[in-house]
Structure 1
Amino acid sequence: MSIYDSIGGAGAVQAAVELFYTRVLADPRLEHFFAGVDLQRLKSHQRAFIAAALGGPQLFDGRDMATAHAGLNITGDDFDAVVGHLAGTLAELGVPAEEIGRIAAVLTPLRSQIVSARELAG
């Protein structure tokens, strides 16, 4: 069974994305990244990305992670804060710790594509 199916499919992904962005936008360390961003469009992309990353049936046809995050100067601390919000969101929605760990294992390799190359080199 895919991670997508084990957490409840599309409904669970929808709930997770909504709660995740509520948490992220309330975080003063992260809110500036979303100024002027079309949040409905971003949430749609996020739902498709998460569903695809977790083995769901949706196809993600958005930009690659490096392109989507280029120029945002995202630090390792920023990345860790977002991952923390995602883990907290999933825990709040009742996703078992084992599944959160499986999800983290899928997303952790994206760090090198999202964190600013300048910071990774430094």
Structure 2
Amino acid sequence: MSKVVRRRAGDLAPNLELWAALENGRILTAALADFYDEVFADPKLSHFFKDVTVERVREKQYNFLYAILTGEPVYFGERPRNGHHWMVISNELFDYRENMLARHLENHGVSDEHVQHLRRISEAFRKQIVKDAPFPKRFGGKELPLEGYESVDLAIGSLCDGCGGEMHEGDKAKYHVRTGHTYCQVCMPEGSSEPKVAATS
């Protein structure tokens, strides 16, 4: 049975005691591995990740929690609102996902007190994630479209989501405004409207 999660002041402040209880991330890594194995096999959740590898999703979630709990600048992904802007997620589905994660944390020996703290972190972003229709990303106070590609000069190196090749800082690339998939100039040359190679990650 799910528990009522009530937010508290300071839920998003660094909590080094909790991080230490997670053995500096070792327990979190193991719990997230089991959790996302179940997510990727779950009919209610797996379709949100059809073009993403389980390794990438685990890494992003780990770094997100690592950054919150330690205050270290290790998470460079999108904020939850933009990262989930295209996902239609109900309150029931949000709770379903949180209950699943809580179960895996408990299975790895995380105390109820610490599980509830981690749930309150998620709860802080409920209003940014739960919705009955997709909404555009926001950047610099402006709304971005839900479909199409934009050109970008990479601020940091990355991997092409088409061919998997390495892209370097300063390279020109194109990214899908909804999914965030990023393509090198070989996979998506200037003037093209679609990538030559479908996303593999």
Q: Normalization by structure 2: what TM-score?
A: 0.54
Q: State whether structure 2 residue 110 is matched by structure 1 residue 78.
A: no
Distance in 2 between residues matched to 1:53 and 1:115, nearest whole Å = 21
Separation of aligned partners in 2, 1:70 and 1:100? 26
Matches within 5 A, 1:17-56: 17-55=32-70
Q: Which segments of structure 1 move beyond 6 Å, counting only runs of 4 or more? A: none
How far off its partner does 1:79 sit? 0.9
Are 2:89 and 2:130, in contact at CA under 8 Å, matched by a contact in 1?
yes
Q: Give the Å deviation of 1:25.
A: 1.9
User: Aligned-pair distance for 1:39?
Assistant: 2.4
Q: Which moved more, 1:15-24 or 1:109-118?
A: 109-118
Within 5 Å, give how 1:57-72 maps onto structure 2: 57=72, 59-72=74-87
CA distance in 1, matches of 2:27, 2:71: 11
Q: Counterpart of 2:103 in structure 1: which amino acid?
A: G
Structure 1 residue 9: deviation in Å?
Answer: 1.4
Q: Which has the higher contact order (CA 8 A, sep 6+)?
A: 1
Name the one with the larger helix percent. Answer: 1
Amino acid at match of 2:93: D
Distance in 2 separating the partners of 1:25 and 1:41: 12
1: CA distance between counterparts of 2:48 and 2:126? 16
2:29 is aligned to 14
SS at 2:125's partner residue?
helix
Farther off after superposition, 12-21 or 90-99: 12-21
* 1:25 alignment partner AA: F
- Answer whether contact 1:13 1:50 (CA < 8 A) is retained: no
Among 123, 127, 130, the residue aligned to 1:115: 130
User: Unmatched 5+ residue regions in structure 2?
Assistant: 1-15, 135-201
- CA-based RMSD of the aligned residues comes to 1.9
> How many Å apart are 1:33 and its aligned residue?
1.1
1:97 aligned residue: 112
With 95-104 and 55-64 compared, the bigger mean Cα shift is at 55-64
Aligned residue in 1 for 2:183: none
User: Do 1:48 and 1:58's aligned partners in 2 also have CA atoms closer than 8 Å?
Assistant: no
Structure 1: runs of 5 or more not aligned: none
Amino acid at match of 1:48: N
- Provide the identity percentage: 29
